[in-house]
Amino acid sequence: MTVPFLDFKSQYLAIRDEIHAAMEKVMENTAFAGGPFVAGFEEAFARYCGCRHAVGVGNGTDALWLSLMALGIGPGDEVITVPNTFIATAEAISICGARPVFVDVDSRTCNMDPNRLEGCLKKGKAPLARAVIPVHLYGQVAEMDPILEIAGKHGLPVIEDACQAHGAEYRGRKAGSMGETGCFSFYPGKNLGAYGEAGAVVTDNDAMAENMRMFRDHGQSTKYHHGIIGWNARMDGIQGAVLSVKLKYLESWNQARRSHAHAYNRLLSGIEEVTLPYESEDGKHVFHIYAIRTKQRDRLMAHLAGKGISCGIHYPVPIHLQKAYQGLGLGPGSFPVAEKCAEETLSLPLFPELTEEQIEGVADEISRFYG
Ligand SMILES: Cc1ncc(COP(=O)(O)O)c(C=O)c1O
């Protein structure tokens, strides 16, 4: 039995006719860059997230960057985030000219630890901080209430990196709807994935939404009249149309992911060497990634690969230990929890179309590995 890490094809085949019809409409209307199909998706996605605005952009990295730009963050500023995330979170900060300051994570969730955020601010470790970016890693929302409270006490806006958390919830609120902005990636493998690159920022802040709409379109609100220096960070019409179709299925796909995750939990719960993903009672985890932890991670991964089961590691090197961030001067031991996550975490195959047989096959091989 082979079990892929992701399977785009079976999902595509299930919605093929709808997708083709939606794409054909874009072509018939020649609405390729921005336009009505992007606007239609923005309206539906804003409603879904419970926000006043959604601004469609080129990808999730753009969404983070535009949020920071709209807050006026630039050279000389610091932005607080976590070290165990995809590089884009830190890149967006750096590309503005600001400096990322990391705080370590909660060992159960691998999400920003509010106590460490408070400690960082109290001890003056980020005197030039202008914003905080918690990451909702693997599809579970960070502890937003304490994070918002601590950031608020210090006058810092919160940008949610919700690139892995489409539809996740925290105390009844949707991921992305709690901070000043929420940033989404629609990279194909995401819970809501485009057929190419796409992203969005959601916000209730009218002025920021207006600024980001101008910024993504060369700073213009009227053609060839440029009020600010912007960039090209628009979403394609085809992606808007595809995402509008797929958004209708997001809740049921997330439900399928949750039930597969719970099936893995049941089947793996007896294995002492494996720590199962922690699921907070404060919200709804949407399992973009099902990550177990084990000290024998590399050997287990190789064993599974030998049996045709593809896994992933999210992420093998924390940002402060990446060559690109050597300039920060942060060596091993700076963020012990994040570093331990990087050593032990293993992402098992998880996608809505995964079958019971595949889940059992993966769990059987893991059990066999541990004897
Ligand atoms: C946590 C996180 N932030 C940001 C991004 C960047 O999104 P994109 O690849 O669409 O630019 C990703 C995408 O993988 C992500 O997982």
Q: Where are the domains of the chain?
A: 9-247, 250-369
Q: What is the pLDDT of residues 342-364, one digit of tens each?
A: 999 999 999 999 999 999 999 99
Which residue is closest in CA terms to ligand 1's atom 4?
88
Of 371 and 99, the one with more pLDDT: 99
Top CATH class, 250-369? alpha beta
Instruction: Dump pLDDT digits (tens) for 214-226.
Output: 999 999 989 999 9
Specify the pLDDT at position 107. Answer: 96
Predicted pLDDT of residue 166: 98
Distance 368 CA to ligand 1 centre (A): 34
Q: What is the mean pLDDT of residues 85-94?
A: 98
pLDDT of res. 167: 98
Dump pLDDT digits (tens) for 16-48: 999 999 999 999 999 999 999 999 999 999 999
Q: How far apart are CA 297 and CA 299, in angstroms?
A: 6
Instruction: Please give the Cα distance from 301 to 313 (Å, whole number).
Output: 9
Residues 263-276 pLDDT 10s: 999 999 999 999 99
Minimal-distance CA residue to ligand 1 atom 8: 60
Q: At a CB cut-off of 8 Å and minimum separation 6, what does 367 contact?
A: 267, 268, 271
The answer to pTM > 0.95 is: yes
Nearest to 357 by CA among 217, 224, 260: 260
DSSP state of 232: B
Is the beta carbon of 85 within 6 A of some atom in ligand 1?
yes
Cα dist from 328 to 100, 124, 331, 353, whole Å:
9, 17, 9, 42
Give the CB-side neighbour count of residue 266, counting CA atoms within 13 A. 9
pLDDT at 80 over 90: yes
- Whether the predicted pLDDT of 303 surpasses 90: yes
pLDDT of residue 221: 87
CB atoms within 10 A of CB 64: 33
Tens-place pLDDT, residues 160-198: 999 999 999 999 999 999 999 999 999 999 999 999 999
pLDDT of residue 13: 97
SS3 315: coil
CB atoms within 10 A of CB 321: 19
Q: What is the mean pLDDT of residues 293-321?
A: 98
Question: What does the radius of gyration of the chain's CA atoms come to, in whole angstroms?
Answer: 21
Candidates 3.30.70.1380, 3.40.718.10, 1.20.120.350, 3.40.640.10; CATH matching 9-247? 3.40.640.10
Closest C-alpha among 42, 123, 46, 135 to residue 93? 135
Atom of ligand 1 nearest to the CA of 92: 4
Write the pLDDT tens digit of every residue in 108-166: 999 999 999 999 999 999 999 999 999 999 999 999 999 999 999 999 999 999 999 99
Check if 101 has its Cβ closer than 6 Å to any atom of ligand 1. Answer: no
Q: What is each CA distance from 230 to 69, 197, 212, 220, 226, in whole angstroms?
A: 10, 20, 9, 8, 8
Name residue, tokens 């959604």: 54
Whole-number Å distance between alpha carbons of 135 and 161: 5
Starting from the edge strand earliest in sequence, which strands make up the sheet with 53-57, in order? Answer: 53-57, 199-203, 181-185, 159-161
Query: Who's near 207: CB < 8 A, 6+ residues apart?
Result: none
Ligand 1 neighbour 135 (Cβ under 6 A)? yes
Output the average pLDDT for the chain: 97
Task: Give long-range contacts, CB 8 A cutoff, 24+ apart: 267-271.
Answer: 267/359, 267/360, 267/363, 267/367, 268/292, 268/363, 268/366, 268/367, 271/366, 271/367, 271/370
Give the pLDDT confidence score for residue 1 in this predicted structure.
Answer: 84
**Residue range 59-70, pLDDT digits in tens:** 999 999 999 999
Rounded to 5 degrees, φ, ψ at 324 are -60, -25
- 254 touches ligand 1 (CB under 6 Å): no
173 contact partners, CB below 8 Å, separation of at least 6 = 50, 144
Average pLDDT over every residue of 323-342? 98
Matching fold, domains 9-247 and 250-369: no
Report yes or no: 203 and 183 within 8 Å, Cβ to Cβ: no
